[in-house]
Amino acid sequence: MGSDIKVTFSALETASADTAATTARITSQLEDLRRQLAPMVATWTGDAAATYRASQQKWDTSAAELTTTLGTIGRLVGQAGQNYRATEQANRARFA
pLDDT value at position 3?
A: 86
* Cβ contact 10:78 at 8 Å: no
Once rounded to an integer, what is the mean pLDDT over residues 51-72? 97
Do the beta carbons of residue 95 and residue 40 sit within 8 Å?
no
Q: What CATH topology corresponds to 1-95?
A: Helix Hairpins (1.10.287)
Q: Which conformational region is residue 5 in: left (phi greater than 0), alpha (psi within -120 to 50 degrees), or beta? A: beta
Whether pLDDT at 66 is above 90: yes
Strands (E), the chain: none
* pLDDT value for 25: 97
Residue 14 has pLDDT above 80, yes or no: yes
- Give the pLDDT band (50/70/90) at residue 6: confident
- Measured between alpha carbons, how far is residue 89 from residues 32, 33, 49, 53 in Å? 45, 47, 59, 53
d(CA 81, CA 71): 15
- Mean pLDDT (the chain) is 94
- Which of the four pLDDT bands, split at 50, 70 and 90, describes residue 45? very high
